[in-house]
Amino acid sequence: MTSYDGQLTTTARTGSQWFPIVAGALVAVGISVTLTSFGAAIGLSVMSGTPTWRESSALLWCVSGLFLVFIALWAFGLGGYVAGRLRQPLAREAKETAFHDGLYGVTSWGLALVLSAALAGALALAAKSDAAPRDPAASTTAEGLIPAELDLLFRDARHERSADFAYHRAEAGRILLSASSARGVVADDRDYLASLVMTYTGLDEERAVNRVNRTVANAREAIHQARVAAVLQAFMIAASLALGAAIAWFAAVEGGKERDLGRIPEWSWTRRRTA
């Protein structure tokens, strides 16, 4: 059969080869996990369990997006190269060697995504089971999205709480989540929140109403910022993964070319500069 350099190869294999695909996927997952952990440690991760969108800026989002592209370049590039380099051309390929190498690179990219998703899911389940709150009311969506607004709503120096406080706090959180809807928080709900504030803080009606109105406005802005951050994060992740597929394809093709030519890539900076 004909290889990249136009010479005949003696390989007579038939069928698919999973070892290059798995090897490339493992390389991609290893590099991705390493770089993602490093990014999370220095605050460049776009996937965070804390509401970092409160302090986020356009610059931080751009830097995080560029860091995702950097991860895709290294992880899927090296993973695709390994898959293409380790693959042995099949006897029936003829002039489609480059195409098959690219397919192996993209398949390795897909397997890397599946492995990464499984690993992330397992870690999320483990973290959730370890940090599961004893009170089910504390696990509402509002506690993860607008906890500061709920703290402000029920702030009181007396720290006297009844047995029903956890439920009422969760109920107030569900009401505040409607602040971003078309109707917003209706008058009846505002009055109910004011009554809760008066009950648990001892404020008079006027101050309680003012606190509720201020909290509703803050919650609306916080939810809007969270949505914007989520959309930008989803776009950057999707763009970097799509770029990773293209990189894996071309890296596998290059790996196949060097495989057929029998060349070893030179990684030494000294040797490159001397040449």
Residue 209 included in any domain: yes
Q: Are residues 61 and 146 in the same domain?
A: no
Report the distance separating Cα 53 and Cα 234, nearest Å: 14
Residue 230 included in any domain: no
pLDDT of residue 115: 92
Give per-residue pLDDT as tens, 216-238. Answer: 999 898 888 888 877 888 888 89
Q: Are residues 243 and 193 in the same domain?
A: no
Q: Which residues contact 151 (CB under 8 A, 6 or more apart)?
A: none
pLDDT of residue 12: 42
Q: Are residues 89 and 214 in the same domain?
A: no
Q: Are residues 59 and 122 in the same domain?
A: yes
Q: Are residues 82 and 211 in the same domain?
A: no
Q: Is 6 left (phi over 0), alpha (psi -120 to 50) or beta?
A: left
Lookup: tokens for 238: 């999707």
Q: Are residues 243 and 194 in the same domain?
A: no
**Nearest CA among 114, 200, 94, 106 for reference residue 151:** 200
Residue 4 included in any domain: no
13 phi and psi angles, rounded to 5 deg: -75, 150
Q: 143: domain range? A: 136-222
Report the distance separating Cα 21 and Cα 105, nearest Å: 7
Q: Are residues 32 and 117 in the same domain?
A: yes
- As to burial, measured by CB atoms within 10 angstroms (0-12 exposed, 13-18 middle, 19+ buried), residue 135 is exposed
Question: What's the structural domain count of the chain?
Answer: 2
- As to burial, measured by CB atoms within 10 angstroms (0-12 exposed, 13-18 middle, 19+ buried), residue 169 is buried
Mean pLDDT by 10 residues, the chain (275 residues): 47 67 94 86 59 58 82 93 88 74 93 91 75 52 80 76 82 88 88 90 89 91 83 86 94 89 66 48
Q: Are residues 129 and 161 in the same domain?
A: no
Residue 227 included in any domain: no
Residue 9 included in any domain: no
CA dihedral angle for residue 161, residue 164, residue 166, residue 168, rounded to 10 degrees: -110
Give per-residue pLDDT as tens, 2-36. Answer: 455 544 444 445 456 889 999 999 999 999 989 88
Q: Are residues 31 and 99 in the same domain?
A: yes
Q: Are residues 32 and 108 in the same domain?
A: yes
Q: Tokens 């070892």, residue?
A: 19
Q: Are residues 91 and 108 in the same domain?
A: yes
